[in-house]
């Protein structure tokens, strides 16, 4: 078996093996790069509303449940806090803030963003221990994939003919950006 054949086999099989990890790190990398535009982990929804505060209610849990019933959240009640004319009601997945004098309020709900929350959990290396070992194996696999990828093709499209232009440019751009960011 010649070296070119072994190189192709290693490159191919590592590519297959680490396909899932590439998707995980690719998706979460894009999401985390743009976290100043959006929250990649959670969907946060805020909604304003007006309710009629019952005049016969003296406060407490009974009042909180009556308020939640008006906004369709009666089954989510956890607890509440009252301070003067304000009431904060904690519900499953969020909070309700209400001015008891005016009936004006707002509800904020938070839920995990599907897919991105899970891939970010892995990208942050949150599971620890076994995940760290697998992530390190993936990092080593990426290095091997990069090196073996240089020698998959031969001829006019190979590394020695045109590939080195792309490799050089791919190395030069991060170095120039690093120089730029460190000198600013």
**Rounded to a whole number, what is the distance in angstroms from the first to the last CA of the chain?**
52
Q: Residue 125: what pLDDT?
A: 81
Instruction: Tell me if 156 is assigned to some domain.
Output: no
C-alpha span between 53 and 82 (Å, rounded): 14
In a domain, 125, yes or no: no
36 within domain boundaries: no
Read off the pLDDT of residues 31-77 as tens digits, 9 standing for 90 and up: 989 999 999 999 999 999 999 988 766 678 888 999 999 999 989 99
Q: Domain range spanning residue 52?
A: 42-112
Residue 26 lies in a domain: no
In a domain, 73, yes or no: yes
Stated pTM of the model: 0.72
| pLDDT for the residue 33 | 92
Q: What percent of the chain has pLDDT over 90?
A: 73
Question: If we measure between CA atoms, which residue out of 55, 47, 44, 43 comes closest to residue 105?
Answer: 47
In this structure, is residue 97 part of a structural domain?
yes
Average the pLDDT over 166-171 and give the result: 94
Q: For residue 54, tell me if it sits in a domain.
A: yes
**Per residue in 33-65, is it b (16+ CB within 10 Å) or e — as a string?**
eeeeeeebbeeeeeeeeebebeeeeeeeeebbe
Residue 179: CB partners within 8 Å, gap ≥ 6?
none
Task: Decide: 147 and 7 in contact? Cβ < 8 Å.
Answer: no
Domain count along the chain: 1
* Residue 171 maps to a domain: no
pLDDT for res 42: 95
User: Distance of CA 132 to CAs 16, 137, 139, Å?
Assistant: 20, 8, 10
For the chain, what is the mean pLDDT? Answer: 91
In tens, the pLDDT along 111-131 reads: 999 999 999 999 888 888 889
All residues at 6 or more sequence positions from 81 whose CB lies less than 8 Å from its CB, including other chains: 87, 88
Is the model's pLDDT at 13 over the cut of 90?
A: yes
């Amino acid at each position: 078996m010649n070296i070119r054949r072994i190189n192709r086999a290693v490159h191919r099989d590592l590519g297959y093996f680490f396909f899932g990890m590439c998707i995980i790190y690719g998706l979460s990398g894009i999401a985390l790069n743009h976290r100043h535009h959006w929250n990649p982990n959670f969907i946060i929804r805020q909604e304003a509303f007006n309710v009629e505060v019952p005049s016969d209610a003296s406060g407490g849990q009974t009042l909180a449940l009556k308020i939640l019933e008006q906004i369709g959240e009666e089954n989510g009640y956890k607890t509440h806090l009252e301070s003067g004319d304000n009431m904060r009601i904690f519900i499953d997945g969020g909070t309700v803030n209400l001015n008891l004098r005016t009936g004006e309020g707002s509800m904020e709900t938070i839920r995990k963003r599907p897919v991105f929350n899970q891939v970010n959990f892995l990208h942050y290396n949150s599971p620890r221990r076994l995940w760290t070992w697998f992530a390190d194996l993936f990092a080593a696999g990426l290095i091997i994939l990069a090196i073996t990828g240089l020698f998959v093709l031969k001829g006019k499209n190979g590394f020695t003919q045109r590939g080195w232009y792309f490799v050089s440019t791919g190395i030069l751009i991060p170095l120039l950006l690093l120089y730029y960011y460190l000198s600013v």
